[in-house]
A and B are shown apart, each in its own frame.
Chain A
Amino acid sequence: MTDAAADAPIPKPDAGDRARPERQEPLLAADGSPLKKSLQRSLRRQKLRAFGLVAPLLLFVLVTFIAPIADMLFRSVENQIVSETLPRTVVALEQWDPEQDELPSEDTFLAMAYDLVEAQELKIHTRLGTRLNYETTGISSLFRRTGRGVDDFGEIYLDQFEDLNPNWDEAGPWVDLVADEGWEHPAPFEPSERFAALMSETAAAYASFARAIQQGSDDNPREEEPWAPVHMALYHDLMRTDPGAIAAYEGPRAEMLREARAAVEGFESQPVREMFVAEEEDWLDPEVWATIKTFSPPYTPGYFLTSVDLKLSPDGEVVAQDEDQRIYMLLFQRTLFMSLMIMGCTILLGYPIAYLISNLPLRTANLLLILVLLPFWTSLLVRTSAWKVLLQQQGVINDTLVWIGLVADDARLTMINNQFGTIVAMTHILLPFMILPLYSVMKTIPPSYVRAAKSLGATNWTAFWRVYFPQSVPGIGAGCILVFILSIGYYITPELVGGTTGTFISNRIAFHISSSLNWGLAAALGTILLVVVLVLYWVYDRIVGIDNVSLG
Chain B
Amino acid sequence: MKLKTVLLSTGAALAIAPAAIAQEMADSMTLVSWGGAYQASQVNAYASPYQAMHPDVEITWDESSPEAVAKLRAQNEAGNIAWDLVDVVAADAMRLCDEGLAMEVDHDEILAPAPDGTPASDDFGDLIVSDCYIPQIVYSTTLAYRNDVEDWTGTPDTVCALFDTENFPGTRTLERRPINNLEWALYCDGVAKEDIYDVLETEEGQDRAFAKLDTIKDQTIWWSAAAEPPQLLADGEAVLGSSYNGRWFSAIEEQDQPISMLWDMQVFDLDGWIIPAGLPEDRLARVKDFVYFATDTQRLADQAKWISYGPARESSAPLVSTHAELGIEMGPHMPTDPENAANTLLYNYEWWADYRDDLDAKFQAWLAQ
Binding site for B on A (CB under 8 A): 123-124, 126-127, 129-130, 133-134, 137-141, 144, 324-327, 330-331, 392-394, 417, 495, 499-501, 503, 508, 513-518
Contacts and interface: CB of A to CB of B under 8 A. Distances in A.
Interface in B129-176: 171
Given A138-B354, A324-B362, A392-B237, A501 B368 contact: yes
Nearest to B99: A127
B98 A500 contact: no
Contacts of A394: 235-237
Interface residues of B, number: 33
B67 A124 contact: no
Q: With a 10 A CB-CB cut-off, give which of B354, B356, B366 has the most chain A CB atoms.
A: B354
B98 A144 contact: yes
A123 B171 CA distance: 47
Contacts of B353: 133, 140-141, 144
B194 interface: no
Contacts of B31: none
A500 B369 CA distance: 8
Contact of A508 (B98, B221, B356, B364): B364
B13 interface: no
A513 B237 CA distance: 31
13 contacts: A123-B100, A126-B97, A126-B98, A137-B357, A144-B98, A325-B358, A327-B365, A394-B235, A394-B237, A495-B224, A499-B222, A500-B222, A514-B66
Interface of B: 66-67, 69-70, 73, 95, 97-100, 171, 221-222, 224, 235-237, 350-351, 353-358, 360-362, 364-368
A137 B236 contact: no
A272 to B, nearest CB: 24
Given A137-B358, A500-B222, A513 B70 contact: yes
Contacts of A514: 66-67, 69-70
Contacts of B222: 417, 499-500
A134 to B, nearest CB: 5
A417 B238 CA distance: 13
Contacts of B357: 133-134, 137, 516, 518
Contacts, number: 82
Nearest to B365: A327
Which label, helix, strand, loop or mixed, suits the secondary structure of the B interface? helix
Contact of A500 (B171, B355, B362, B368): B368
A493 to B, nearest CB: 13
A517 B70 contact: yes
Given A499-B221, A514-B66, A393 B99 contact: no
A130 B361 CA distance: 15
B98 A417 contact: no
B70 A140 contact: no
A325 B354 contact: no
Nearest to B277: A123
Nearest to B361: A325
Nearest to A508: B364
A331 B367 CA distance: 12
A139 to B, nearest CB: 8
Contacts of B366: 324
Given A392-B237, A394-B237, A141 B350 contact: yes
A126 B70 CA distance: 17
Nearest to A130: B98
Contact of A517 (B69, B354, B361, B362): B69
A392 B355 contact: no
A141 B356 CA distance: 12
A459 to B, nearest CB: 49
Contacts of B356: 516
Nearest to A326: B365
A471 to B, nearest CB: 43
Contacts of B355: 137-138
A394 B97 CA distance: 45
Contacts of B365: 324-327
Given A324-B365, A325-B365, A518-B357, 16 more contacts: A124-B100, A127-B100, A130-B95, A130-B99, A133-B354, A138-B354, A141-B354, A144-B353, A327-B368, A330-B368, A392-B235, A393-B237, A500-B368, A516-B356, A516-B357, A517-B69
A273 B363 CA distance: 36
Contacts of A126: 97-100
B154 to A, nearest CB: 21
Contacts of B97: 126
B171 to A, nearest CB: 8
A144 B366 CA distance: 30
A140 B98 contact: yes
Contacts of B361: 325, 327
